[in-house]
Amino acid sequence: SPHVLSAQVDDFVRHQEFVEGRYGRQASKPWYENALYSVEIGGDDINFGLPLGGGHVINVTIPAVIQGLADGIQKLYAHGARHVVLYNMPRADCSPNYLQSFQQYPAGTFHYDKDGCIVEIAQIISYFNTNIQRLTEELTQKYQGLTVYYFDWFAANTYVLENMKEFGFTNSLQSCCGGGGKFNCDGEGLCGCAPLNQTNAVYTVCKDPSKYFTFDGIHYTEHFYEIMSEYIMAGEYITPKVKLEMGC
């Protein structure tokens, strides 16, 4: 896939080399050393690994993602990166896509928590996030002058989920755009929440996406991302603590 982290890092390095060639290495060096590198990946790896079983995700997928992150950040460091914010995985256990897909399994195969999210998925995500947090500490210790900030997206997502009326949300478990059903994810195609792309399918879009957590059952709405961005800018749910408003 062209979206793998190593390809993205390589693209960044090629662009950096172009900039250095145009403005000079010494002139452009501070731009890269003072920049904040935002790194987040792994959600789709887990999504596509789950049909092979939770054991496969834990023993094969997650170690591969963690190693890919370690290698990618090492290469960024070699090209001047000194400040990296690394995101963990948010509450995919509450996504309409998962909730709809898991309806195929017999009752008792999985369990719901008090927010209506899938416990077994949350456990896998928590395991992944523990490894992400450990990686941030290891990288900071390993590379002199490098600081890796850990954004606890999962915790921020949980707070908003459990206090959603405070943020203007009315729906956390249904897709804004979908094909109907309990989670508005019946059907296939773009907004059908299933992976198939049926271009002739028709789905409805909710009147006010800002009241929903997810737009298409997988990706979040603009309103949700705005709240997460505000947390990041204010340095909330970030370790070590850092405020970014002045830098922007």
- pLDDT at residue 190, as a whole number: 67
d(CA 216, CA 198): 14
- pLDDT at residue 220, as a whole number: 95
- pLDDT at residue 109, as a whole number: 86
d(CA 240, CA 248): 19
Distance of alpha carbon 44 from the chain centroid: 9
Phi and psi torsions of 171, nearest 5°: -145, 120
- pLDDT at residue 194, as a whole number: 63
- pLDDT at residue 193, as a whole number: 73
Q: What's the pTM? A: 0.91
- pLDDT at residue 107, as a whole number: 84
Please list the rounded mean pLDDT of every run of 10 residues in the chain (248 residues): 84 96 95 94 91 94 96 97 96 93 87 95 97 96 96 97 96 92 82 67 88 94 96 93 72
> Do the beta carbons of residue 185 and residue 214 sit within 8 Å?
no
d(CA 96, CA 227): 20
DSSP state of 189: S
| Opening angle at CA 40, ends 140 and 170, nearest 5 | 125
